[in-house]
């Protein structure tokens, strides 16, 4: 179980992406039921480390601190600067001993230099995905996503997408309830929908005044209802074609994919917190029956609903 996190820093580190990692892993939230973690920054030569914004950081630990960690993280870096040899060794050493590594934004280039992206899916900020693929041709760069889980290697897109990757790993290790609490403390969604493509095309959807926000809220509160495109389009007072186009523009996903994801999230919570049967949960969240829920849940989470319950249930009694 994840209990010890080290962040490797070096001259030119980007403070925002470093802050993302500090916020995700370094804040003690034990009073809210979040398991406490050992956390530290480390660098090749302890002392003053410069940042990309012109101020410095005082880092006390050398890279031997990374040797203790279950997770070694890399914030964004200057892509045209020489990659620190000691940091490369720290990353490959982590993988060799069974730990995980996670990069934020251009930190993926350090993972690439260490050979950790070879044969693996990965991502980085959409502005750099072509460069990442060119420099590391054996990697499988996925440009349109917020993060890629190729456990034990995790890569995320630009800036805030690092939070998405960290919350994903919290969820993977400790369940949706803990991940939701971490997200709530940071005042961010526990899971974002869509991917980088919605940000590449335009930052704000067209006709933002006609946002689908209220409809999305209604869907999550009424998951057992019919949420086919035609039914949702009628509720939004649009033609199905216009609705489908608007929905993808605002969420980055099709209505079916978005609704399915919300149903999986709701199922996670019920599996963790209730002793209700899986058949009942499937009906409650709109999957209809246990077999359909099992299919979608396993595809989304890589584990069956029953397996998820056994790993993360907080209910006193369990009914299958």
Task: Locate the domains of the chain by residue range.
Answer: 4-186, 209-320
pLDDT value at residue 32: 92
CA 286 to chain centre: 25
CA pair distance 291, 289, nearest whole angstrom: 6
pLDDT value at residue 116: 98
- Length in residues, the chain: 320
Preceding amide of 250 cis, omega within 30: no
Q: Which residues contact 240 (CB under 8 A, 6 or more apart)?
A: 229, 230, 233
CA 174 to chain centre: 14
pTM: 0.75
Cα–Cα distances in angstroms (integers) from residue 81 to residues 12, 84, 122, 142, in the given order: 8, 9, 21, 24
CA pair distance 192, 38, nearest whole angstrom: 27
pLDDT in tens, 63-119: 999 999 999 999 999 888 888 889 999 999 999 999 999 999 999 999 999 999 999
pLDDT value at residue 84: 83
pLDDT value at residue 194: 56
CA pair distance 264, 287, nearest whole angstrom: 9
The SS3 call for residue 47 is strand
The domain defined by 4-186 carries CATH number 3.40.50.300: no
CA pair distance 283, 263, nearest whole angstrom: 10
First-to-last alpha carbon distance for the chain, in angstroms, is 25
State which residues of the chain have pLDDT below 70.
192-210, 315-320
pLDDT value at residue 315: 58
Question: Taken in order 29, 34, 40, 41, is the CA torsion positive or negative?
Answer: negative
pLDDT value at residue 190: 73
**Architecture of the domain made up of 209-320:** Orthogonal Bundle (1.10)
CB-CB contact of 163 with 186 (8 Å): yes
pLDDT in tens, 128-152: 999 999 999 999 999 988 999 999 9
Main-chain dihedrals φ then ψ at residue 154, nearest 5 degrees: -120, 130
The pairing of strands 71-74 and 100-103 is parallel
The pairing of strands 140-141 and 71-74 is unpaired
DSSP string, 151-181: TTEEEE-STTHHHHHHHHHHHHHH-HHHHHH
């Amino acid at each position: 179980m994840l209990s010890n996190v080290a962040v490797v820093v070096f001259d030119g580190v980007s403070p925002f992406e470093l802050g993302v990692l500090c916020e995700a892993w370094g804040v003690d939230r034990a009073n809210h039921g979040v398991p406490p973690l050992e956390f530290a920054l480390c660098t090749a030569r302890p002392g003053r480390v410069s940042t990309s914004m012109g101020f410095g950081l005082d880092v006390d630990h050398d890279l031997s601190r990374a040797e203790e960690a279950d997770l070694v993280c890399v914030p964004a870096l200057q892509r045209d600067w020489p990659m620190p040899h000691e940091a490369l060794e720290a990353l490959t050493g982590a993988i060799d001993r069974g730990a995980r590594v996670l990069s934020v934004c251009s930190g993926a280039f350090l993972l690439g230099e260490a050979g950790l992206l070879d044969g693996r899916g990965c991502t980085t900020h959409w502005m750099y995905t072509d460069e990442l693929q060119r420099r590391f041709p054996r990697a499988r760069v996925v440009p349109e996503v917020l993060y890629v889980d190729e456990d034990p290697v995790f890569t995320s897109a630009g800036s805030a997408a690092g939070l998405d990757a960290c919350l994903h790993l919290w969820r993977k290790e400790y369940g949706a309830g803990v991940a939701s609490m971490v997200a709530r403390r940071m005042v961010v969604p526990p899971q974002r929908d869509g991917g980088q493509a919605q940000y590449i095309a335009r930052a704000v959807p067209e006709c933002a005044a006609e946002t689908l926000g209220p409809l999305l809220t209604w869907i999550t509160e009424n998951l057992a209802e019919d949420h086919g495109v035609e039914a949702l389009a009628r509720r939004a007072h649009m033609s199905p074609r216009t609705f489908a186009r608007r929905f993808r523009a605002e969420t980055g996903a099709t209505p079916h994919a978005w609704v399915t994801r919300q149903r999986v999230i709701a199922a996670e919570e019920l599996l963790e917190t209730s002793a209700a049967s899986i058949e009942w949960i499937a009906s409650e969240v709109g999957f209809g029956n246990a077999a359909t829920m099992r299919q979608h849940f396993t595809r989304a989470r890589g584990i069956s609903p029953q397996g998820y319950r056994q790993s993360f249930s907080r209910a006193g009694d369990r009914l299958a």
